[in-house]
Amino acid sequence: MAGRHAHAATSMAIVTDPEAMRAEVLAARASGRRIGFVPTMGALHAGHVSLVARAAEACDDVAVSIFVNPTQFGPSEDFARYPRTLEADVAAVEQGGARWVFAPQADAIYPPGWATKIVVDGPARRFEGEVRPGHFCGVATVVCRLFLTVPADVAYFGAKDWQQTLVVKRMVCDLGLPIEVVVCPTVREPDGLAMSSRNAYLSAEDRGRAAALFESLTAAGRSWQAGEPVAAIEQQMRTHLTSRGIAVEYAAVVDRNSLEPLTTPQTPAIAIVAGRIGKTRLIDNHLLPSRSGG
């Protein structure tokens, strides 16, 4: 769908230089255009495409960054084998109506001698922060760098990485970064599996079992509405995942804003899970409806 004002001559530009990217966005904003930004690591799927579509609806111009950020991968993680599909990504983004793809080399983002990191505490502490030490430092550092390089009005993130959205919002608030953060719903396969670039790693057999994450979350939603205690719901999630051959890293019902334990029955809650299927690590979550009383 077209943005607020259609853009003349809409051929998409691929920009690799941060200064050039920043100049383009500032010039567009100076002419009164509202700019949307979708940061990605490429290997784009329908979830990313939905973010671009949402940005294109609400903004005049959309920038999409494609950068596999080395600093958010641990030493034994999948940085080297993370899927890189630049040509297909560029086609998808152009189709979605973006004006710019920002696809920098690593040394343009991390210059020689690079020594500055952003550390977010609070929502970054538990879950992914525990299982993947340094991950959110890498995310916050690159997202801050990207926000400075693509000084958009609004940035779009997927709810599948819920904890990441909390970390980014916390950083934007704490550093006073002049950008609005919009979180968009998770896009799912027909069997409920959340779209993820890492789904490409799954063997056919593992792919069959991967729907268990979504099944455990929807079952948690039903138990939650039936008023069952948090500990019982968490145990049910673990039992279901384990029965489907998934090695559970965490399965929890927590405060959706802080990711800390629920303090009152009315606290807005979220169920979150992470597990390994074979060598593939997947995460997912489900916002729980408010429940009164118990």
Q: Considering the rule CB under 6 A, would residue 50 count as an interface residue with ligand PAF? A: no
Q: Considering the rule CB under 6 A, would residue 40 count as an interface residue with ligand PAF? A: yes
- 66 versus 248: smaller Cβ distance to ligand PAF: 66
Assess whether 45 carries a catalytic annotation. Answer: no
User: Which entry of 45, 48, 135, 240 is annotated as an active-site residue?
Assistant: 48
Q: Considering the rule CB under 6 A, would residue 282 count as an interface residue with ligand PAF? A: no
Q: Considering the rule CB under 6 A, would residue 199 count as an interface residue with ligand PAF? A: no
Mark 104-118 as b/e (b = at least 16 C-beta within 10 Å). Answer: beeebbbeeeeeeeb
Q: Minimal distance in Å, beta carbon 38 to ligand PAF?
A: 9
* Selected binder of ligand PAF within 50, 69, 163, 196 (CB under 6 A): 69
Phi and psi of 134, rounded to 5°?
Answer: 90, -15
Site string for ligand PAF, 159-178 (x = CB under 6 A): --x--x--------------
Phi and psi of 229, rounded to 5°?
Answer: -70, 150
Written as one letter, the residue type at 219 is A
Q: Considering the rule CB under 6 A, would residue 139 count as an interface residue with ligand PAF? A: yes
Interacting residues with ligand PAF (CB under 6 A): 39-41, 69, 72, 139, 142-143, 161, 164
